[in-house]
Amino acid sequence: MDWNLFYQLARQVAKKINGSGYKPDLIVGLARGGWVLARILCDLIGVKDLVSLKVEHWGVTATPDGKAKLRYPLNVDLKGKNVLIVDDITDTGESMQVTVEYVKSLSPSEV
Protein backbone atom coordinates (compact mmCIF):
# COMPACT_ATOMS: atom_id res chain seq x y z
CA MET A 1 0.00 0.00 0.00
CA ASP A 2 1.43 3.38 -0.91
CA TRP A 3 1.41 6.40 1.39
CA ASN A 4 -1.37 8.25 -0.48
CA LEU A 5 -3.76 5.31 -0.18
CA PHE A 6 -2.86 4.85 3.49
CA TYR A 7 -3.57 8.50 4.23
CA GLN A 8 -6.82 8.42 2.26
CA LEU A 9 -7.99 5.40 4.28
CA ALA A 10 -6.93 7.10 7.53
CA ARG A 11 -9.06 10.10 6.57
CA GLN A 12 -12.03 7.77 6.01
CA VAL A 13 -11.54 6.26 9.46
CA ALA A 14 -11.30 9.76 10.98
CA LYS A 15 -14.50 10.78 9.22
CA LYS A 16 -16.31 7.76 10.70
CA ILE A 17 -15.00 8.53 14.18
CA ASN A 18 -16.02 12.19 13.91
CA GLY A 19 -19.43 11.19 12.52
CA SER A 20 -20.03 8.79 15.40
CA GLY A 21 -19.98 11.56 17.98
CA TYR A 22 -17.29 9.75 19.98
CA LYS A 23 -14.72 12.21 21.33
CA PRO A 24 -11.60 10.44 22.61
CA ASP A 25 -9.42 12.23 25.14
CA LEU A 26 -6.50 9.98 24.35
CA ILE A 27 -5.44 7.46 21.71
CA VAL A 28 -3.59 4.25 22.56
CA GLY A 29 -1.56 3.11 19.55
CA LEU A 30 -0.63 -0.56 19.62
CA ALA A 31 3.05 -1.11 18.95
CA ARG A 32 4.29 -1.44 16.40
CA GLY A 33 1.74 -1.61 13.61
CA GLY A 34 -0.77 0.82 15.06
CA TRP A 35 1.70 3.64 15.70
CA VAL A 36 1.50 5.42 12.37
CA LEU A 37 -2.28 5.27 12.06
CA ALA A 38 -2.72 6.35 15.69
CA ARG A 39 -0.45 9.36 15.14
CA ILE A 40 -2.28 10.43 11.99
CA LEU A 41 -5.69 10.00 13.63
CA CYS A 42 -4.57 12.30 16.46
CA ASP A 43 -4.12 15.07 13.91
CA LEU A 44 -7.26 14.28 11.92
CA ILE A 45 -9.65 14.10 14.86
CA GLY A 46 -7.94 16.64 17.10
CA VAL A 47 -6.63 14.44 19.91
CA LYS A 48 -3.55 15.81 21.69
CA ASP A 49 -2.61 12.79 23.80
CA LEU A 50 -1.09 9.68 22.22
CA VAL A 51 0.43 6.79 24.15
CA SER A 52 1.82 3.46 23.06
CA LEU A 53 1.09 -0.01 24.35
CA LYS A 54 2.89 -3.16 23.28
CA VAL A 55 1.14 -6.51 23.17
CA GLU A 56 3.30 -9.37 21.89
CA HIS A 57 1.67 -12.07 19.86
CA TRP A 58 2.92 -12.43 16.27
CA GLY A 59 6.10 -12.50 14.22
CA VAL A 60 9.40 -11.58 15.80
CA THR A 61 7.74 -10.78 19.11
CA ALA A 62 5.77 -14.04 19.24
CA THR A 63 5.31 -15.50 22.71
CA PRO A 64 6.39 -19.10 23.39
CA ASP A 65 2.86 -20.24 24.23
CA GLY A 66 1.28 -18.31 21.33
CA LYS A 67 -0.90 -16.21 23.64
CA ALA A 68 -1.08 -12.44 23.40
CA LYS A 69 0.65 -10.80 26.35
CA LEU A 70 1.05 -7.22 27.50
CA ARG A 71 4.74 -6.37 27.35
CA TYR A 72 5.02 -2.84 28.75
CA PRO A 73 2.18 -1.42 30.85
CA LEU A 74 1.07 2.19 30.48
CA ASN A 75 2.37 4.85 32.82
CA VAL A 76 -0.58 7.21 32.38
CA ASP A 77 -3.78 7.95 34.30
CA LEU A 78 -6.79 6.90 32.19
CA LYS A 79 -9.36 7.31 34.95
CA GLY A 80 -12.49 8.98 33.57
CA LYS A 81 -11.06 9.42 30.06
CA ASN A 82 -12.51 8.38 26.72
CA VAL A 83 -9.89 6.12 25.14
CA LEU A 84 -9.57 5.07 21.50
CA ILE A 85 -7.41 2.00 20.82
CA VAL A 86 -5.79 1.87 17.37
CA ASP A 87 -4.02 -1.00 15.62
CA ASP A 88 -3.21 -1.69 11.99
CA ILE A 89 -4.91 -5.07 11.71
CA THR A 90 -6.99 -7.43 13.80
CA ASP A 91 -6.48 -11.08 12.88
CA THR A 92 -7.54 -13.35 15.74
CA GLY A 93 -8.61 -10.41 17.91
CA GLU A 94 -6.57 -11.71 20.82
CA SER A 95 -4.18 -8.74 21.00
CA MET A 96 -7.09 -6.31 20.91
CA GLN A 97 -8.95 -8.31 23.57
CA VAL A 98 -5.93 -8.24 25.90
CA THR A 99 -5.56 -4.51 25.25
CA VAL A 100 -9.22 -3.67 25.88
CA GLU A 101 -9.27 -5.68 29.12
CA TYR A 102 -6.08 -3.99 30.32
CA VAL A 103 -7.24 -0.48 29.40
CA LYS A 104 -10.62 -1.07 31.08
CA SER A 105 -8.78 -2.10 34.26
CA LEU A 106 -7.41 1.47 34.41
CA SER A 107 -10.94 2.90 34.90
CA PRO A 108 -11.48 4.96 31.76
CA SER A 109 -14.90 6.46 31.15
CA GLU A 110 -15.23 4.74 27.77
CA VAL A 111 -13.11 2.53 25.50
The mean pLDDT value for 58-63 works out to 53
> What band does 90 get if pLDDT is binned at 50, 70 and 90?
confident
109 part of a folded domain? no
pLDDT at 20 over 80: yes
13 to each of 1, 10, 32, 66, 75, how far by Cα in Å? 16, 5, 19, 30, 27
CA-based R_g, the chain, Å: 14
60 part of a folded domain? yes
What CATH number should be reported for the domain holding residue 90? 3.40.50.2020
110 part of a folded domain? no
H/E run at residue 85: strand 83-86
Is-contact 26 47, C-beta < 8 A? yes
Q: What is residue 64's predicted lDDT score, i.e. its pLDDT?
A: 57
Q: Total structural domains in the chain?
A: 1
> What band does 12 get if pLDDT is binned at 50, 70 and 90?
very high
Q: Which domain holds residue 18?
A: 3-104
pLDDT tens digit string along 70-89? 888 899 999 999 999 999 98
The number of angstroms, rounded, from the C-alpha of 96 to the middle of its chain's C-alpha atoms is 8
47 part of a folded domain? yes
pLDDT at 60 over 60: no
